[in-house]
A and B are shown apart, each in its own frame.
Chain A
Amino acid sequence: MSGGYEGKENVVNIEQSENRLVLQGNEAIVEGALASGCRFFAGYPITPASEIAELMSFKLPAVGGSFIQMEDEIASMGAIIGASLAGVKSLTATSGPGFSLMQENLGFACVAEVPCVVVNVMRGGPSTGLPTSPSQGDVMQARWGTHGDHPIIVLAVSSVRDCFEITVHAFNLSEKYRVPVILLSDEVVAHTREDIILPELKNLEVVERIRPSVPPEWYIPYEDNSRGVPAMADIGSGYRHHVTGLIHDAKGFPTQRSDEIDAFTRRQFRKITNGFCEIQMTKSLMMDDAEIAVIAYGAVSRSALRAIRIARERGVKAGLLQLITLFPFPKKAVDPVLRQCRAVLVPEMNMGQIIREVKRVNLSSKVVKYSRVDGQFITPDEIFEQLLAMYM
């Protein structure tokens, strides 16, 4: 493992806990969100994400939080931004059609730097598509779905345990960098039941946004600092300020000055670039002596893991790089894999989205595409066959 994932896994010491459960991915996301301190959920029902809303509606009131079913996903996204501005960690969950509706307000969360987590349990698309089949078709939408130049963090989960742990990371990164985090799941992870041991809350690292330490008269809501992440005051905490979707100056007021516009846009990117080493999470398995490798994410990385094990049994030196962070794209972890291996396979349940990012890292490397777009999950055997062909 590399990136922030490695460090924090020790903190989430699963083995020491006695809280052993069998959960489906969607349920584990709820547990992860609550453990992260999420106390607000707004959403609109959609397969295969609805269980998240249902469980949140049941659990949030018991912990003093609030759940609301809004009239659509546009409204859900607006509501979670509002709650987060008021200082409450917020979540929404949806699938393709709803994720499309969220894009406009997602851009607001980017421009106003409002921490929040958006789960997209991917299903086949476009449009109503394949409501009950898995897909990885929304990867580029997660990165570029809202208009305009903006950084965003996109994470992908592959297991029930991931659903818990990566949700915690999603909230932590969102709070720390004041940026919306998209958590990509898929129909397979969402509905698979697996055994999970929930960590004790006291063993969990939970990050809170930095709130202003100066008196209200001195507070400048979008003032730059070394991290590029301004301190964030809760609405109603005495730090009256203005929040807008217009490009704004350090005080939060709309600006047309080119120097201020430039500084604003560059800071948005700088704050994320500064955090690359903890934001870009990957996991590498059997890579030490690997001659060929699979680069995969989401549920497909589970099949890939099985495939490289089969390959190893047959003497094929195969390894796996699992991408947990899809964006900002973890070039630093991908580059050595491309240099080390003669060929790299990128299996995806789409016509090839992340593979473009992989290829761009090192244009001279051999990167092989494997796409499955028939609504079916990619199996270990399929990946193994591809690996074998590459190894020959």
Chain B
Amino acid sequence: MDEKFAGLRHDYLRHDKKFPHVWCPGCGNGIVLGALIRAIDRLELEKDELVLASGIGCAGRMPVYVDFNTLHTTHGRALTFATGIKLAKPELNVITVMGDGDATAIGGNHFIHAARRNLDLTAIIINNQIYGMTGGQYSPTTPYGAIASTAMHGHIEHAFSIAELAITAGASFVARGTVYHAAMLDTLLAKGIAKTGFSVIEVMSNCHTQYGRKNQMGDPVTMMKWFKENGVSKEKAARLSEEEMAGKFTIGVLADVDKPNYIEEYEKIREKAGAV
């Protein structure tokens, strides 16, 4: 397994990009990148047909390391650039990777509309419940009561559930994984990428540096344990009461529906308009 993955790294990471990467040692972003590479390998996708577009933040630094067509856009806007690319070249497989602040604060409007529109894109949202890159300010997913560098007295706002938001907004495929459940993450990403229509994979990930340290989970292992204990499968969650689920979250595929996607629909518009 390790040897196989070493080979994959060689196949998919850029050889001309200077490592080491920018992430803190033990950051969950690397695990998500590993899972993404394995998922792409599993799907046998060609590098030339893949686009990885990101916004700004620690998560946003992912594309530069991989040998696909890569794009590092502006904060919150990755999906808007991805929309243009996909409409211009529908044959490309366009994946975006965003942080929780990136996707649901500054980019929240783009996110819900991309889901509603059902353009065939994949959105990976690395939810570390904080603004990592800028130093630990609270994000739309920071839990009530948590400490953040702009909530030193405790956070008084309530968190979004990214996956539920995506389902409500109309995404075709919605899943939630964690960086602890790494094997499951490979599968969720592969399913999301393979799905036609707008797919969202929310990945609970550790920012021990900016979130963990302020909230009694100052190292990656403690945070991993937290994901292990609180990530509950959909089946198990169905058997638990609301009180028992308090502070926990469901993982796995949460929605998978088929509906007309934008590219197919637009093709019909072209026919109506008399395109040759």
- Listed in ascending order, the chain A residues whose CB lies under 8 Å from chain B are 39-40, 42, 58-59, 61-64, 66, 68, 70-72, 74-88, 90, 104-105, 108, 234-236, 238, 240-246, 251, 253-254
Per-residue CB contact flags for chain B residues 169-208 toward chain A (1 = under 8 Å, else 0) read: 0000000000000000000000000000000000000000
Q: Which of B63, B73, B92, B275 meets A86, CB within 8 Å?
A: B92
Within 8 A of A (CB), among B1-39: 14, 16-18
Q: Which of B64, B71, B74 meets A104, CB within 8 Å?
A: B74
Q: Which of A58, A59, A82, A240 meets B47, CB within 8 Å?
A: A240
Considering the complex, give the chain B residue whose CB is closest to the CB of A116.
B84
Q: Which of A83, A235, A238, A246 meets B72, CB within 8 Å?
A: A246
Known: A71-B110, A240-B69, A242-B64. 8 other contacts (CB 8 A): A61-B266, A62-B270, A75-B109, A82-B86, A83-B88, A88-B89, A244-B71, A246-B72
Q: Which of A86, A104, A243, A244 meets B84, CB within 8 Å?
A: A86
B82 at the interface (CB under 8 A from A): yes
B113 at the interface (CB under 8 A from A): yes
Per-residue CB contact flags for chain B residues 132-156 toward chain A (1 = under 8 Å, else 0) read: 0000000000000000000000000
In the complex, A253 Cα to B270 Cα: how many Å? 38
Q: Which of B17, B80, B269, B275 meets A82, CB within 8 Å?
A: B80
Residue from B79, B87, B88, B109 with most neighbouring chain A CB atoms (10 Å): B88
B44 at the interface (CB under 8 A from A): no
- A–B pairs, 18, beta carbons within 8 Å: A64-B270, A68-B83, A75-B113, A82-B80, A82-B81, A82-B82, A83-B88, A84-B88, A86-B84, A87-B89, A108-B73, A236-B85, A240-B70, A242-B72, A243-B71, A245-B72, A245-B73, A253-B17
In the complex, A147 Cα to B266 Cα: how many Å? 36
Assess whether A253 is in contact with B74, with CB atoms less than 8 Å apart. no
- Listed in ascending order, the chain B residues whose CB lies under 8 Å from chain A are 14, 16-18, 47-49, 51, 53, 56, 63-64, 67-74, 77, 79-89, 91-92, 109-110, 113, 266, 269-270, 272-276
Residue from A59, A68, A78, A90 with most neighbouring chain B CB atoms (10 Å): A78
Assess whether A108 is in contact with B74, with CB atoms less than 8 Å apart. yes
Residue from A87, A244, A253 with most neighbouring chain B CB atoms (10 Å): A244
Which residues of A have CB within 8 Å of B274? 62
Q: How far is the CB of A136 from chain B (nearest CB, A)?
A: 29
Q: How far is the CB of A101 from chain B (nearest CB, A)?
A: 11
Contacts A66-B266, A253-B64 given; indicate if A83 touches B87 (C-beta within 8 A): yes
Assess whether B81 is in contact with A61, with CB atoms less than 8 Å apart. no
Considering the complex, give the chain A residue whose CB is closest to the CB of B47.
A240
Contacts A71-B113, A236-B48, A236-B92 given; indicate if A83 touches B71 (C-beta within 8 A): no
Report the 5 A-B pairs with minimum CB-CB distance, sorted nearest first: A82-B84, A78-B80, A86-B88, A79-B84, A83-B84
Considering the complex, give the chain B residue whose CB is closest to the CB of A238.
B48
In the complex, A78 Cα to B47 Cα: how many Å? 23
Contacts A74-B80, A79-B84, A104-B74 given; indicate if A61 touches B275 (C-beta within 8 A): yes
In the complex, A241 Cα to B81 Cα: how many Å? 16
Assess whether A58 is in contact with B273, with CB atoms less than 8 Å apart. yes
Assess whether A78 is in contact with B81, with CB atoms less than 8 Å apart. yes
Q: How far is the CB of B266 from chain A (nearest CB, A)?
A: 6
Q: Which of A75, A81, A236, A244 meets B51, CB within 8 Å?
A: A236
Considering the complex, give the chain B residue whose CB is closest to the CB of A246.
B72
